[in-house]
Structures are given as C-alpha cells and as structure tokens.
Amino acid sequence: MHSSSLNDEEAVSNQATRQYEANESKIKELREQIEKEDEEYQNHEQNIEELKNRWLKPLDEMIKKINEKFSKFFRDMKCVGEVDLLKDETETDFKKYGVQIRVKFRSEESLHVLDARHQSGGERSVFTMLYLMALQDITNCPFRVVDEINQGMDSINERSVFNQIVRTVNQRDTPQYFVLTPKLLQGLDYSDSVTVHIIHNGLHMSPDVWDKKCLV
C-alpha cells in the first residue's frame, strides 16, 4: 500500500509537471503571438498616419485657401461665411470627413451650417456662386458656365453677386464666365471685359427696351 501510494503521488506529480510545462509553453506561444500582432498593429498605425499626413496636410491647406476667398466674398456682401474641414473626433474614421460650410446672411443671426431649414433658395444660390468663385484659384479650366444662378435672389443679392463675378473675372489668369439668365438687372457695374448678349424671343420685341447706357 505504501509503495502504491508513492507511485500514485509520483504519477500525479509527473502529470502536474507536464501540465505546467505545457501551460508555460502555451503562455509563451501566446505572448509571442501577442507581441507579433502588437508590432504589426503598430506598423499598421504608423502606415495609416504616414498616408494620412500625405493628403491631410495638402487638403487642410486647400480648404484654408477656399475659406479665405469665400469669407472675403461674404464680407464684401456684409455677410459672414466660413468653410472648414469636418473631421471625426479621433481623426481615424475617414468616412466622416467632409467640407462644412457655415453662413450668416443677417447680423442678428448666428452662423448656421448650410441647409434648407435655415437658408432660402435665393441665399443658397448666393452661396453656390460665391463658393464656385472661391474654388477659382485651385481649379484649372478654360471657362465656366453658370445657368440662372440669380433665380430666387432679391435685387440686392443679385447685384452684389454680379459685381463679385465681374471683379473676379477681371483678375489675371482667370477662366471666362458664361452667365445665362432670363432676367438681368439694369444699371449693373460692367467692365470692358464684359460682353452682354441679349437674345429676343420674338420678331416684334424691340431691342430699345434696354437703355444702352446701362450696358456700357
């Protein structure tokens, strides 16, 4: 009995030793796997950061240029407009990145993100035209066509936007603008670089309805 008990204890001890060694080996293997995956994760994070910096910095600079022009156009109209880059809080969810535009058309208002709830159709037309002109310096094209952009604008905004267009196209190395509209205010400030084409829709419509002095 005594010899049998010793054998049993020795067998249990040997089994426990083997189990311990097996567990230690498994723990070591898991630690090595964790270290390897952690290193891969760090390399992955570093690659993401390097790739992000390649396009995020130029994108930030481009948005700043757009914002400078856009804000200036709005200040000239006695309004406020801002363009900035909307990012995810962690800056890692790139699906949430976007261009955010906030505007204020009246002094008693606060800045609001551009949407149909806060701005009228005419105000959104003003934004569209000014934003298009703010993109002027960062895009390369021979001409732009603007169709009925003044529809829905009141006469004050229409005149202000038209004057902004004339000032913009008078700068050097800017594309040519074709502004198509069914109505055009008289007494606008034209320059020597502006040509007005009036297309009449009937044989008996007299061109004399326009004061020639207003088109000079």
Question: How confident is the model over 165-175, as pLDDT tens digits?
Answer: 888 777 777 77
Crossing angle between the packed helical segments 121-134 and 155-169, to the nearest 10 degrees: 10
Domain-embedded: residue 131:
yes
Contact in structure between 148 and 180 (CB atoms under 8 Å)? yes
Q: Which of 167, 180, 109, 99 is nearest to 133 (CA)?
A: 167
Can you tell me the mean pLDDT for 184-188? 77
The answer on pLDDT for 210 being more than 60 is no
Residue 115 maps to a domain: no
- Domain limits at 182? 120-216
Q: Is residue 96 part of a domain?
A: no
pLDDT average, residue stretch 162-186: 80
Reported confidence tier of residue 63, pLDDT bands at 50, 70, 90: very high
Question: What amino acid is encoded at 215 in this protein?
Answer: L
Whether the predicted pLDDT of 190 surpasses 60: yes
Residue 157 lies in a domain: yes
Mean pLDDT, residues 193-200 taken together: 79
| Rounded mean pLDDT, 76-91 | 84
125 lies in a domain?
A: yes
Residue 18, CA distances (Å) to 24, 47, 59, 104 in order: 10, 43, 60, 76
Q: What is the mean pLDDT of the chain?
A: 79
**Number of domains making up the chain:** 1
Asked whether residue 71 is domain-assigned, the answer is: no
Using DSSP bridges, classify how beta strands 112-113 and 176-180 pair: parallel, antiparallel or unpaired: unpaired
The predicted structure's pLDDT at residue 64: 93
Domain assignment present for 48: no
Beta bridge partners of 9: none
Residue 169 located in a structural domain: yes
Out of 19-23, 26-30, 96-100, 197-201, pick the least confident: 197-201
